[in-house]
Amino acid sequence: MQMDFSHWMALESAMHGDQSRRRFSRTTLRRIWDFARPHRRALAGFLGLSVGTAVLTVATPVLAGQVVDEIVDGQDRGRVIGLAVVIAVVALFDAVVSIGERWQSAKIGEGLILDLRRAVFGHVQRMPVAFFTRTRTGALVSRLNNDVIGAQRAFTWTLSGVVSNVIALALALAVMLGLSWQITVLALVLLPVFVIPARRMGARLAHLEREAADLNSAMTTQMTERFSAPGATLVKLFGRPNREASEFGARAERVARIGVRTAMGQYVFMAALSLVSALALALVYGLGGYMALAGEIEAGTIVTLALLLTQLYAPLTALASARVDAMTAIVSFERVFEVLDMTPLIDERPDPVAMPDGPVSVELDEVRFAYPSADRVSLASLEEVATLDTRGGTEVLHGVSFRVEPGQMVALVGTSGSGKSTIASLVPRLYDVDGGAVRLGGVDVRDLSFDDIRATIGMVTQDGHLFHDTVAENLRFARPDATDDELWDALRRARLADLVESLPDGLDTVVGERGYRFSGGERQRLTIARILLAEPRVVILDEATASLDSTSEAAVQAALTDALAGRTAIVIAHRLSTIRRADVILVVEHGRIVERGTHGELLAAAGRYAELHRTQFAADAAAVSKATDSDDSDDEVDDAAPPIEAVA
């Protein structure tokens, strides 16, 4: 190990010194071993190669000293050449062993990263929707990146470093003490001068590193929010770009200043430690030369001691910081385990009931529900807050009961916040009820497998989400094995085939982040095409046309007519044209169903629905007859978005 590199690693370890007061958790260590167990053979080989590297590192100085002795004696040229050949062979073996060690290190490290990422990603996928509504995406992604890599460092860096440094230190000390215990002890007196500056300088630089990390995190958050399509639009409409740029520039300038101070601190540290090393070498040469002239030791011994000394400080400093390195890695493991230890509120039965064949009914039976509090679904570190919000647990649905017969359409109406969307989210089991039951085809959804629920229910929300991928891949998200012909059929039924055919890349057109290269109506019809491709037996529409203008809504409504044909449907609607087609209308207020019946029956009852009709639907009522009499407006121009041809 080269001296400069050893100094650098000493500084890196010292910069995490604030972790040294933490205690090792036996439970954490056992869990770490559970992840390491599949790699135990590779670990054994890796440690063996590390030992080999340490032995070869000590062998070279010893051989160099013997060469010097032979040169001084000047009697056996062949032995000098032989020793030189041995040194070359040792160097060759050292290179080969180092390559093997690096290969094993990479294999173990990448394997561990793979295992951890699979475990965290799979576990996060099982978390309820409430988890994602609270968690900051960047903080969660960091667990899959920074913390997983930090945990991997325990095996590929700290573990091998401890083993190789212990062996190298033991061998170097043994050889040095055997050659001259006086010089060895005197050289070690300078060790505190080597280690103490590393700890003090490291603490100062650690503060700067943490500040830089916080500033970089703030800049990343600002860029993520401002560079998204909705964020950029908001800044252009209401923001102050100069102020945004000024705030970002101030943070970037502070990071730059910290970078300069850190670089100078590191350089001063390296220079100081190099000076200490030089002083130690001077001591060896001075005292050793004096003893050699006195005939107490050989000249080659001085060379061996000097070379071993340069390798002695490196493992000593590394081992002094080994606990810090280990705790840093363990902290990363603990942050990963923190996510893995979160218990999903919604889990699948080990022996789920099979979903019955044929048309499916939907039934809510005395359903009671309260949104879970933060401590049940989130972590303060993932929300980036000091303490979790304690609010939650207030019941929002109070004994809701209704039944949707197979092939029937039921409309939910009511004021904002009345509980309509909550009801819709319970049917596909995005949340679990606190009381009562939700049944599909007579079977409690808690007894069904997740695959059966997904295959049975299709849902279109007000803001149908699309991935930054092609049209084809967004559609195949619902059915991966769908052929191109089936994709085109779904697009035709969604009244979107003509548009996609007109695009230069057709099905291979990238829709952009969240589908923002398409207009609102086009995005909705694409999500409807996805539903048509999945062919669910139950369709839930949660205000699927709420954000569209009348022209776009006409095209979407035509697509929805095909999507709902012959299927059991629950529709949350704000347009009278949709509501009037429902077989049954349920009026929801304050988490209760206060009225039910057809459009005509509820108007005649002159109750809450009639009041909503007068207030919310009055403007829409005049257009209902016109929209009903007109043909399906399949090919009308969509709402104001840039032409897809211009951005595809």
Residue range 629-645: mean pLDDT, rounded: 39
Residue range 242-257: mean pLDDT, rounded: 85
Q: What is the pLDDT of residues 28-72, one digit of tens each?
A: 778 888 878 888 888 888 888 878 887 888 888 888 888 887 787
For the record, the structure tokens of 293 come out as: 């002239």
Highest-confidence range of 187-196, 430-439, 517-526, 528-537, by mean pLDDT? 430-439
Out of 248-257, 374-383, 566-575, pick the least confident: 374-383
Residue 548: CB atoms within 10 A of its CB come to 22
Q: What is the pLDDT of residues 407-416, one digit of tens each?
A: 899 999 988 8
Q: Cα–Cα–Cα angle for 141, 147, 152, nearest 5°?
A: 130
Q: How confident is the model at residue 529 (pLDDT cuts 50, 70, 90)?
A: confident
Per-residue pLDDT, 367: 95
Q: How confident is the model at residue 301 (pLDDT cuts 50, 70, 90)?
A: confident
For the record, the structure tokens of 580 come out as: 């009037």
Q: Give the Cα separation of 190 and 318 in Å (integer).
A: 16
Compare 228 and 371 and report the one with higher pLDDT.
Answer: 371
Residue pair 521/441 in contact by the 8 Å Cβ criterion: no
pLDDT reading at 155 higher than 70: no
Per-residue pLDDT, 550: 60
The predicted model scores a pTM of: 0.66
Q: What is the pLDDT of residues 309-360, one digit of tens each?
A: 777 766 766 676 666 566 667 777 878 888 888 888 888 889 999 998 888 9
**% pLDDT > 90, the chain:** 14
> Residues with Cβ < 8 Å from 186, sequence gap 6 or more?
283, 287
pLDDT reading at 405 higher than 70: yes
Compare 55 and 277 and report the one with higher pLDDT.
Answer: 55
Per-residue pLDDT, 6: 47
Helix (H) or strand (E) run with residue 81 in it: helix 77-125
Q: What is the pLDDT of residues 181-239, one digit of tens each?
A: 888 887 777 766 666 666 666 667 667 766 776 677 677 777 777 776 667 766 766 66
Compare 404 and 258 and report the one with higher pLDDT.
Answer: 404
Per-residue pLDDT, 406: 92
Q: What is the pLDDT of residues 591-600, one digit of tens each?
A: 999 999 999 8
Residue pair 434/394 in contact by the 8 Å Cβ criterion: no
Q: Cα–Cα–Cα angle for 137, 143, 148, nearest 5°?
A: 155
CATH no. of 400-635: 3.40.50.300
Could you tell me whether strands 443-444 and 435-440 are parallel, antiparallel, or unpaired per DSSP bridges? antiparallel
Phi-psi domain of 633 (left: phi exceeds 0; alpha: psi -120 through 50; beta: other): beta
Instruction: Measure the N-to-C terminal CA separation of the chain; round to a whole number of Å.
Output: 54
Residue 541: phi and psi, rounded to 5, are -115, 110
Residue pair 392/133 in contact by the 8 Å Cβ criterion: no
Q: Give the Cα separation of 198 and 430 in Å (integer).
A: 53
Per-residue pLDDT, 592: 93
Compare 401 and 196 and report the one with higher pLDDT.
Answer: 401
Q: Give the Cα separation of 303 and 116 in Å (integer).
A: 48
Which of 347, 411, 434, 389 minimizes the C-alpha distance to 588?
Answer: 411
pLDDT reading at 372 higher than 50: yes
Instruction: Enumerate the β-bridge partners of residue 444.
Output: 439
Query: How many CA atoms within 13 Å lie on the side-chain side of 165?
Result: 21
Could you tell me whether strands 409-413 and 592-597 are parallel, antiparallel, or unpaired per DSSP bridges? unpaired
Out of 394-398, 451-455, 540-544, pick the least confident: 540-544
Helix (H, G, I), strand (E, B) or coil at 540: strand
> Residues with Cβ < 8 Å from 515, sequence gap 6 or more?
464, 465, 466, 474, 523, 526
Q: Give the Cα separation of 475 and 102 in Å (integer).
A: 44
Q: What is the DSSP string of 166-225?
A: HHHHHHHHHHHHHH-HHHHHHHHTTHHHHHHHHHHHHHHHHHHHHHHHHHHHHHHHHHHH
**% pLDDT > 70, the chain:** 76
Would you tell me which CATH number, out of the four given (3.50.50.60, 1.20.1560.10, 2.40.50.1070, 3.40.50.300), belongs to the domain 3-340? 1.20.1560.10
Q: What is the pLDDT of residues 466-521, one digit of tens each?
A: 888 889 998 998 888 889 999 998 888 888 888 889 988 888 988 877 777 787 77
Out of 383-397, 404-418, 525-539, 557-571, pick the least confident: 383-397
Residue pair 142/216 in contact by the 8 Å Cβ criterion: no
Residue 572: phi and psi, rounded to 5, are -100, 115
Out of 127-131, 330-334, 543-547, pick the least confident: 543-547
Per-residue pLDDT, 422: 92
| Cα 231 from chain centre | 22
Q: Give the Cα separation of 455 and 126 in Å (integer).
A: 17
Instruction: Parse the chain into domains and list their residue ranges.
Output: 3-340, 400-635
What angle in degrees, to the nearest 10, is found between the helix axes of 322-340 and 77-125? 20
